[in-house]
Structure 1
Amino acid sequence: MMKVSYFIFLLVLLTTYTVIDAFDRGDIILQHNFDGPDEEAIWKKFLNPLIQLVTTDRGDQALRIERNLPNSPSASISIPLPALALCGYKIRIQANIKAANISIPPNSWNGIKIMLHTKELSGDNYPQQNLPRGTFDWRTADYIASIPRDTQQANLVLGLEAVTGTVWFDDVKVIVYSKLRPPPPSPPPGLPFKGHNLTRLRGAMIGTNLKEQDFRDFGSWNANHIRWQLMWNGFPHSPADNGDISAYEIWLESALKHLDSMLPVCRELGMHILIDLHTPPGGRNDEKECNLFKEKRFQDTFISLWEKIARRYKNESIIWGYDLVNEPVEGIVPDDVMDWQQLATVTIEHIRAIDSEHAIIIEAAPWGGPGALADFEPLPFSKIIYSFHMYEPGTFTHQSVYDDIPPVSYPGIIDGKMWNKDQLRVNMKRVLDWQHDYNVHIYVGEFSAIRWAPGDSAYAYLRDVIDIFEENNWDWAYHAFREWPGWSVEHIGDKNNTQYSPIPTDRQNLLMNWFTQNEH
């Protein structure tokens, strides 16, 4: 494995970027085309038989990385970025890549690496663009990644991980994509708007096909809130991905009719509803980015559907609010399409022309996590509530959801860091600080831990995060009630047992104990 130390590489690559107090959109942070004597001088000290500068079939030079033996260490180079200067920015990472005979990766995150690795006080992150296996000619990798505000180190990793084959990199570039949000003004006085007069909303997101008895069962737990997901046959991918707006509108109307049919029982049970657009128009692309940020026609549909929902429910008191889009991911936004900040602003203007009272809930891009919210610039409206989803560390909460991995326990060492209640507080402190900066209300729209986490790890994690939510007076919704068995608190920890437990699990009792405090 070729691993270059941060400090040595920083000296060698000093001429490739300039650390300044503030960056503008389009500023080049790092750039390598591997051509000419200057590039050769930079790279020659770090080459070995598996990592070489070579002449390509196009006549220029590129960085070639090979990995021939399946059990050999990963072959990669780690290029440092000016992390402290970039905290709070989004960057655009680009490279031309060619590959030959890349083997099947053992996990979805393995393979060709053009990956940002950030080390933060709140944990490590590894955003990357997944690339195909096999053989392919020159193609462009191009994606957006965030540098969280508490980042201590940031590195761009190029190479091969857990696969064999050969990859060539050329024209590697890191560019500033968006600037820091401005410093917060003096927060407005008074209590922040919550959209309800209860001490707390405590409940869960629900499955898409629940019947009246399911709501009565959940009501018997004394829940006072449901996050009603408008989801079209799956997440993150769905039939919406094919871009058929007519089919999307037919599905949406059927989903709203189901909501309409359950409003009477929700009113009776005092369960306040948040309408969550889980599947936006256009769905998502292969990189799981919302096509909402790729084509204007999807944005037009998005605005009109929220006008429709606002007209439909503006006088419905059991509706708490509107969650405009679940876990937005922008990617690279074309010039003729609005980014999330702009689209949310325009959409809220249209909603407020119809419904001036219901709360509007905003999740930050990308993916609605704590770090995304901490970097988000609040919108210029009142009666807005800001939401984040808590699944960190994902190695624990999502273990063996997508790929089989060895069991991961909480509390414990996860991804090289001790994760316990104190670390969870550190992780969520950036949300708390942001909340205090702007005097807004926070809603935790999703949180969970997979039920087959070893021992009582899932219970311990849920106990600790809920304690922190309650300390901070945040409303919250567990993910999820009668949706997918992996997240179900009504199932025991055996992954292969898909039957409801005959007695409440410790996780179900945990939720029910908190729900005893609910008002309606």
Structure 2
Amino acid sequence: MRVIFIVLTLLLAGKDSRLQTSASSTDLNIWRGGNIKPFVYHKGSVTTGEFVTKEMIEKYKEWGVNLLRVQVFLDKSSSFFESSRRKNRKKHNSDGSEDESEKLEDTYGRYLQGLDSVAKYCRDLNIDFFVALHGVKHRYDEPENLYTNMKEFWMMIANRYNSNKNLIGYDLLNEPNTEYETKNLYHGKKIFDQLINDIREVDTTRYMIAQVTENGAPHGFKEIRPLEDNKVIYSFHFYEPHQFTYQGMKGLKSSSTDYPGMIRPDNSNEAVYHDKEELKRSLRAVRKFQKEHNARILVGEFSAVRWANGADLFLKDAMEIFEEWEWDWTYFTLYAEWNGWCLTVSSDYEDEYGFISNDITNNRFSTVKSFWNKNKKD
């Protein structure tokens, strides 16, 4: 009887490879990487950019990066572009400007072209990558079509890159933040479970990366449940406290705080002394979920604006926590259309442009690179 049970177990495992691998935090060595867009910020052309080159990916590998999170948006030339933007969530495009016959390849346009190149470079240079969906048509004005529009994108991606040995997974939706998404990604219509089942028809081996609700913030782990698939990596973004990491931008233009120091938490009007222990406290919900469900965790984005006093110390403390708790991480960002997060730009607020260089001396770059170097030792 015992022999029959073992044989049946092996047969079932062979029938569905999802039964063979779990996404526990001890599956693999830690991924330590960074975020990129498929085309890069450069002087004089912020909106159009240049496609990422093989030389750039070679430089990332030289620095020790072993994973790239490649962000994909709708192309600005797409007739659906406005419907994908958060600021237009209350606006329904009814002026007939959208072209329903537009091909999906055109909807994502240069991002998809750039992704084709990045995928090839990663394969040639043996550096892992995954695709992160940042733009979905009608995400904010027709949420009832979210599943259909996401499925359309992910089936295209899974079919397009399934043969690439360095593709490790699919980051299903960036920073879930609407009421509809909160109610239906993990619960309600269970959109994430549906999408994963769809993708599994094409790809049975790669990780499904699911960001938490609440805009991808750490406390979003309080609102989710484990998904049905057992090869899921649960992801969040870490910018807390925003009064420090976002100072000088958006609604915090007059904010100026140091780390470590007295900083107002996101959920309070009273300043609290922030140091490594306080950062740990802000991550308790993530750690609790990880331990309760033996979950693999990815910090998909984390950063502090380059001019923040103590940004290098904040990054060091954050990465030490990630390492201690065996979390994968991808720094935000290696390159972007806005230079405030870029490691290759100096910490001078007035320094507008930055490029890959062999002479990068700012403390943020040195700090993050020292952690990337661990990839060479693992």
Q: What's the TM-score once normalised by structure 2's chain length?
A: 0.77
Q: SS at 2:301's partner residue?
A: strand
Q: Give 1:196 shift.
A: 9.9
Equivalent in the alignment of 1:452: 307
Whether contact under 8 Å (1:248, 1:281) holds in the other structure is no
Q: SS at 1:461's partner residue?
A: helix
Match among 507, 511, 519 for residue 364 of structure 2: 507
* Aligned counterparts of 1:346 and 1:374: Cα–Cα separation in 2: 22
Equivalent in the alignment of 1:193: 23
Does residue 477 (structure 1) correspond to residue 330 (structure 2)? The answer is yes
Give the aligned residue type for 2:134. Answer: H
* Aligned counterparts of 1:219 and 1:280: Cα–Cα separation in 2: 30
Does residue 369 (structure 1) correspond to residue 214 (structure 2)? The answer is no
Q: Give 1:304 shift.
A: 2.2
* Aligned counterparts of 2:351 and 2:116: Cα–Cα separation in 1: 34
Give the aligned residue type for 2:261. Answer: G
Match among 462, 465, 479 for residue 315 of structure 2: 462
Per residue, is there more helix in 1 or in 2? 2
Residues 377-416 of structure 1 aligned to structure 2 (within 5 Å)? 377-403=225-251, 404-415=253-264, 416=271
Give the aligned residue type for 1:473. Answer: E
Does residue 256 (structure 1) correspond to residue 86 (structure 2)? The answer is no
Q: Give 1:374 shift.
A: 3.0
Q: SS at 1:399's partner residue?
A: coil
Equivalent in the alignment of 1:487: 341
Q: Give 1:299 shift.
A: 2.6
Equivalent in the alignment of 1:442: 297
Q: Give 1:198 shift.
A: 4.3
Equivalent in the alignment of 2:137: 281
Q: Unaligned stretches of 5+ in structure 2?
A: 1-19, 40-51, 85-91, 265-270
* Aligned counterparts of 1:195 and 1:473: Cα–Cα separation in 2: 6
Whether contact under 8 Å (2:237, 2:301) holds in the other structure is yes
Give the aligned residue type for 2:365. Answer: Q
Report percent identity of matched pairs. 28
Q: What's the TM-score once normalised by structure 1's chain length?
A: 0.57
After TM superposition, the runs of 4+ consecutive aligned structure 1 residues lying more than 6 A away are none
Equivalent in the alignment of 2:10: none
Whether contact under 8 Å (1:232, 1:239) holds in the other structure is no
Number of equivalent positions: 317
Change (3 A) 1:424 1:247: farther
CA RMSD for the aligned pairs? 2.7
Q: Give 1:233 shift.
A: 5.9
Greater relative contact order (CA < 8 Å, ≥ 6 in sequence): 2
* Aligned counterparts of 2:230 and 2:162: Cα–Cα separation in 1: 17
Does residue 211 (structure 1) correspond to residue 67 (structure 2)? The answer is no
> Which deviates more, 210-219 or 253-262?
253-262
Q: Give 1:295 shift.
A: 3.4
Deviations along 1:198-256, one digit per CA (max 9) or x if unpaired, are 4111110013302222212212212111000002368xx95343764655821325423
* Aligned counterparts of 1:417 and 1:246: Cα–Cα separation in 2: 54
Match among 320, 341, 344 for residue 192 of structure 2: 344
Change (3 A) 1:503 1:315: closer
> Which deviates more, 250-259 or 461-470?
250-259
* Aligned counterparts of 1:446 and 1:463: Cα–Cα separation in 2: 15
Change (3 A) 1:219 1:239: farther
Q: Give 1:401 shift.
A: 1.5
Q: Give 1:378 shift.
A: 1.2
Q: SS at 1:200's partner residue?
A: coil
Give the aligned residue type for 2:249. Answer: V
Change (3 A) 1:233 1:309: closer
Whether contact under 8 Å (1:421, 1:464) holds in the other structure is yes
* Aligned counterparts of 2:75 and 2:111: Cα–Cα separation in 1: 11
Per residue, is there more strand in 1 or in 2? 1
Residues 120-159 of structure 1 aligned to structure 2 (within 5 Å)? none
Equivalent in the alignment of 1:309: 157
Change (3 A) 1:332 1:230: closer
Q: Unaligned stretches of 5+ in structure 1?
A: 1-189, 285-290
